[in-house]
């Protein structure tokens, strides 16, 4: 597992060095510490679902700490905002050219659908497991089941029996994937004549406007939030925008050798952003009950914004400043964390149905058994999924199928 900064070449040898799942577009730098942050995100999601199935969510402080581990979804969204937006804007500061939109969409398709179809098909075929509710096959296989495209009951209408209820976030991710090229084209047109510094502020200003509009829509205008808003990118623009903002800052700062004082401080003490994130998370857990979705809208708004800030603070040492020193590097670059991040998508897909089988609807095991059992089983399933399905398919991310076949025949 590569754990150092890596700037890929255009040759095919690059994919032999960098794992296919995390290989960036050609000539764009990779941010390897993000792999470890993916591990933190997926373990957080697994933890909150295991705590729910194991009856560990309560009004106690420990119960609230477990309940708010749903921040893992926020971390995933912030990571996506950074990693997917940066290649499109790197050329503004002399970096590699933006990837072609068809190639970008192809890579997103290969990253999401094959592994998802595998687990969905298993849940449909194996007796006692459910991945489709009310016989609505096409919305689940198309990954649009939380969007208002059909009238039947969806996975979120029966989360206790649907083994893929957690995939609402994948639908949100897909709406982000679809909207990102449109945002890129619009901002390129609006800022094409601006110098790097002016471009950076224009980009950040646009992200602030979009995030504010998202918050106003869901917390001031609509009550309750309609399905087209709550099940799409529109409700989570703040979280994606925070990652995109870090991508803009990363590109702009790479345009010259100068660094603001705050980045110099982060480079010397990368633990500071993490300390701030943990302090804010502790305050949130001490203040908010274990059921944030049942709170007043103002409290849900505070939680929504706080989650975004915490996730961004966790990402900062992994993408800005010196990424080769300090506690964040030691944690995120650990081989176990890096490998868990590599197979994190499979863990995310498999873990929820396992908590169902170990929890009250299945074996009725206590929290620790549900937690450890889910971690062990879902990690094993994820490893098989990655090495048997995902990794072979992802070899096509930057290559044509006929080239791969010809290379295999030659070998």
Question: Residues 376, 365: contact at Cβ < 8 Å?
Answer: no
Give the SS3 label for residue 361. Answer: coil
| The pLDDT of residue 4 is above 50 | no
Compute the distance between CA of residue 115 and CA of residue 22 in angstroms, rounded to an integer: 15
Rounded to 5°, the CA angle 172-175-178 comes to 155
Task: Read off φ and ψ for residue 246, nearest 5 degrees.
Answer: -65, -35
Compute the distance between CA of residue 155 and CA of residue 32 in angstroms, rounded to an integer: 34
- Written as six digits, the tokens of 291 are 């059921």
**Per-residue CA distances from 411 to 332, 390, 399, 406, 408 (Å):** 36, 21, 17, 9, 5
Angle between helices 33-53 and 344-358 (to 10 degrees): 10
| Residue among 377, 306, 312 nearest 41 (CA) | 312
| pLDDT, position 270 | 86
Confidence of residue 292 (pLDDT cuts 50, 70, 90): low
Q: DSSP string of 128-177? A: T--S-STT-HHHHHHT-TTSSS-SS--GGGSTTT-TTGGGHHHHHHHHHH
Confidence of residue 12 (pLDDT cuts 50, 70, 90): very low
Compute the distance between CA of residue 11 and CA of residue 14 in angstroms, rounded to an integer: 6
Phi-psi category of 288—alpha, beta or left, where left has phi over 0 and alpha has psi -120 to 50? beta
* Average pLDDT of every residue of the chain: 87
Cβ atoms within 10 Å of 283's Cβ, excluding its own: 11
Using only C-alpha atoms, the chain has a radius of gyration, in whole angstroms, of 21
Q: How far does Cα 185 stand from its chain's mean position? A: 23
Confidence of residue 259 (pLDDT cuts 50, 70, 90): low
Confidence of residue 32 (pLDDT cuts 50, 70, 90): very high
Confidence of residue 9 (pLDDT cuts 50, 70, 90): very low
Confidence of residue 179 (pLDDT cuts 50, 70, 90): very high
More confident residue, 153 or 271: 271
Give the SS3 label for residue 396. Answer: coil
Confidence of residue 379 (pLDDT cuts 50, 70, 90): very high
Compute the distance between CA of residue 244 and CA of residue 207 in angstroms, rounded to an integer: 8
Q: What is the mean pLDDT of residues 139-144?
A: 90
Considering Cα of 331, then 332, then 336, then 341, what sign does the dihedral take? positive
More confident residue, 330 or 397: 330
Question: Residues 292, 67: contact at Cβ < 8 Å?
Answer: yes
Confidence of residue 16 (pLDDT cuts 50, 70, 90): very low
Partners of 6 in beta bridges:
30
Considering Cα of 313, then 318, then 321, then 326, what sign does the dihedral take? positive
Task: Read off φ and ψ for residue 6, nearest 5 degrees.
Answer: -140, 125
Rounded to 5°, the CA angle 269-270-276 comes to 100
- Written as six digits, the tokens of 340 are 């868990």
Give the SS3 label for residue 6. Answer: strand
- Written as six digits, the tokens of 15 are 């994919």
Match 């199928």 to its residue by tokens: 401
Task: Read off φ and ψ for residue 162, nearest 5 degrees.
Answer: -95, 120
| 364 contacts: CB under 8 Å, gap ≥ 6 | none
> Is the peptide bond preceding residue 319 cis, with omega within 30 degrees of 0?
no
Compute the distance between CA of residue 341 and CA of residue 379 in angstroms, rounded to an integer: 11
Question: Residues 231, 286: contact at Cβ < 8 Å?
Answer: no
**Per-residue CA distances from 207 to 131, 144, 203, 245, 307 (Å):** 36, 26, 6, 7, 17
> Is the peptide bond preceding residue 368 cis, with omega within 30 degrees of 0?
no
């Amino acid at each position: 597992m590569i754990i150092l900064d890596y700037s890929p070449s255009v040759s095919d040898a690059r994919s032999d060095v960098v794992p296919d799942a995390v290989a960036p577009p050609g000539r764009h730098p990779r941010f390897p510490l993000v792999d470890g942050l993916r591990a933190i995100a997926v373990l957080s999601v697994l933890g909150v679902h295991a705590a729910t199935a194991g009856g560990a969510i309560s009004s106690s402080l420990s119960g609230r700490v477990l309940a708010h581990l749903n921040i893992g979804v926020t971390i995933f969204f912030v990571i996506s905002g950074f990693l997917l937006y940066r290649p499109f804007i790197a050329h503004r500061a002399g970096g590699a050219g933006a990837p072609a939109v068809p190639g970008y969409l192809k890579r997103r398709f290969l990253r999401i659908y094959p592994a998802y179809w595998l687990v969905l098909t298993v849940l449909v075929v194996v007796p006692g497991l459910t991945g489709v509710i009310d016989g609505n096959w096409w919305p689940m296989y198309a990954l649009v089941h939380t969007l208002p495209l059909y009238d039947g009951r969806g996975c979120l209408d029966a989360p206790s029996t649907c083994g893929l209820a957690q995939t609402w976030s994948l639908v949100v991710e897909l709406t982000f994937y679809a909207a990102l090229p449109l945002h890129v084209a619009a901002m390129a047109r609006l800022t094409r004549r601006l110098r790097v510094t002016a471009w950076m502020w224009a980009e950040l200003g646009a992200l602030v406007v979009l995030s504010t509009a998202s918050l106003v829509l869901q917390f001031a205008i609509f009550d309750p939030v309609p399905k087209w808003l709550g099940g799409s990118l529109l409700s989570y623009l703040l979280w994606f925008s925070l990652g995109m903002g870090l991508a803009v800052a990363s590109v702009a700062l790479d345009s010259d050798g100068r660094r603001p004082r705050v980045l110099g401080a982060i480079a010397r003490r990368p633990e500071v952003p993490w300390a701030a994130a943990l302090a804010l998370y502790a305050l949130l857990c001490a203040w908010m009950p274990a059921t944030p979705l049942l709170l007043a809208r103002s409290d849900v708004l505070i939680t929504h914004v706080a989650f975004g800030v915490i996730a961004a603070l966790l990402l900062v040492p992994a993408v800005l400043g010196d990424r080769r020193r300090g506690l964040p590097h030691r944690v995120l670059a650990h081989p176990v964390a890096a490998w868990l991040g590599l197979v994190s998508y499979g863990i995310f897909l498999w873990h929820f149905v396992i908590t169902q089988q170990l929890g009250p609807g299945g074996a009725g095991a206590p929290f620790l058994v549900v937690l450890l059992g889910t971690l062990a089983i879902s990690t094993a399933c994820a490893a098989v999924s990655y090495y048997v399905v995902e990794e072979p398919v992802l070899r096509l991310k930057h290559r044509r199928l006929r080239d791969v076949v010809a290379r295999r025949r030659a070998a």
